[in-house]
């Protein structure tokens, strides 16, 4: 028997990311792919957040995909405001100059996705920010046969206040038709 629950954001797990905008870092978990061609992603953020204002003004940002070994810093970046704290200094993250946008990459994150802001969609408590992906930077040691080895990348997932890691591959797209 299924039990009915009141509506809430029930999707799980969601990927954890660190978004750099100007000199700030914000932890975002409500993020995903929006379009394949042109390549776009989207994420939800409250309009009163410091990062929202920075992205709205600069029209660009970088999505940095963290690995589990920097989890404490990832959590910290979501708990304090960049209005009051210089997060790059506190976390000791290393800034790398981006190729196509002015916001920095985080060296300690194995994947960095540079984006230009396409649109902001007001939704309610959160706005949906849609970004066009202009380039993707990947640590060389993660590339195997031309693809990212996600197990080596050790991405972090988030479920209702808890951080999780990924398990093993259990299938490949289209395996049911083979």
- Cα–Cα distance for residue pair 61/125, rounded to 1 Å: 21
What is the structure's pLDDT at 143? 96
Is residue 5 in some structural domain? Answer: no
pLDDT 10s digits, 11-62:
889 999 999 999 999 999 999 999 999 999 999 999 999 999 999 999 999 9
- Cα–Cα distance for residue pair 132/115, rounded to 1 Å: 5
Domain count, the chain: 1
Tell me the whole-structure pTM to 2 decimals: 0.95
| Mean predicted confidence (pLDDT) in 86-103 | 98
Least confident of 46-55, 61-70, 147-156: 147-156
- CA distances for 24 relative to 61, 138, 167, angstroms: 10, 21, 31
Question: Do the Cβ atoms of 65 and 111 come closer than 8 Å?
Answer: yes
Is residue 76 in some structural domain? Answer: yes
CATH number for the domain spanning 81: value is: 2.30.110.10
Is residue 46 in some structural domain? Answer: yes
Tokens of 39: 């390549």
Is residue 9 in some structural domain? Answer: no
- Cα–Cα distance for residue pair 82/136, rounded to 1 Å: 25
How would residue 100 be classed by pLDDT, with cut points 50, 70 and 90? very high
- Provide the 8-state DSSP code for 166: -
What is the structure's pLDDT at 2? 95
Say if residue 170's pLDDT is above 90. no
> E strand or H helix at 15, and its extent?
strand 14-15
Is residue 4 in some structural domain? Answer: no
| Mean predicted confidence (pLDDT) in 131-158 | 95
Tokens of 17: 């990311």
Q: Which residues contact 46 (CB under 8 A, 6 or more apart)?
A: 52, 125, 126, 127
Host domain of residue 95: 14-177
- Cα–Cα distance for residue pair 72/27, rounded to 1 Å: 11
Three-state DSSP at 55 gives helix
- Cα–Cα distance for residue pair 144/36, rounded to 1 Å: 22
Is residue 116 in some structural domain? Answer: yes
Task: Give the mean pLDDT of the chain.
Answer: 96
What percent of the chain has pLDDT above 90? 89
Least confident of 7-11, 50-54, 114-118, 145-149: 7-11
- Cα–Cα distance for residue pair 113/173, rounded to 1 Å: 23
Three-state DSSP at 88 gives helix
Is residue 90 in some structural domain? Answer: yes
Say if residue 140's pLDDT is above 90. yes
Is residue 117 in some structural domain? Answer: yes
Question: Do the Cβ atoms of 63 and 41 come closer than 8 Å?
Answer: yes
Least confident of 18-27, 31-40, 85-94, 159-168: 159-168
């Amino acid at each position: 028997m299924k039990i009915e629950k009141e509506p809430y954001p029930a999707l799980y797990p969601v990927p954890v990311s660190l978004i750099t905008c100007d000199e700030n870092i914000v932890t975002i978990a409500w993020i995903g792919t929006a379009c394949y061609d042109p390549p776009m992603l989207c994420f939800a953020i409250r309009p009163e957040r410091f990062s929202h204002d920075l992205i709205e003004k600069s029209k660009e940002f970088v999505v940095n995909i963290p690995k589990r070994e920097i989890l404490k810093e990832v959590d910290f970046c979501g708990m304090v405001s960049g209005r009051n704290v210089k997060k790059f200094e506190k976390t000791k993250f290393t800034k790398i100059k981006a190729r196509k946008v002015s916001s920095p990459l985080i060296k300690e994150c194995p994947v960095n996705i540079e984006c230009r802001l396409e649109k902001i969609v007001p939704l309610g408590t959160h706005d949906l920010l849609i970004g066009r992906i202009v380039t993707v930077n990947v640590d060389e040691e993660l590339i195997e046969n031309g693809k990212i080895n996600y197990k080596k990348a050790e991405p972090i997932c988030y479920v209702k206040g808890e951080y999780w890691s990924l398990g093993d591959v259990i299938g490949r797209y289209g395996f049911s038709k083979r």
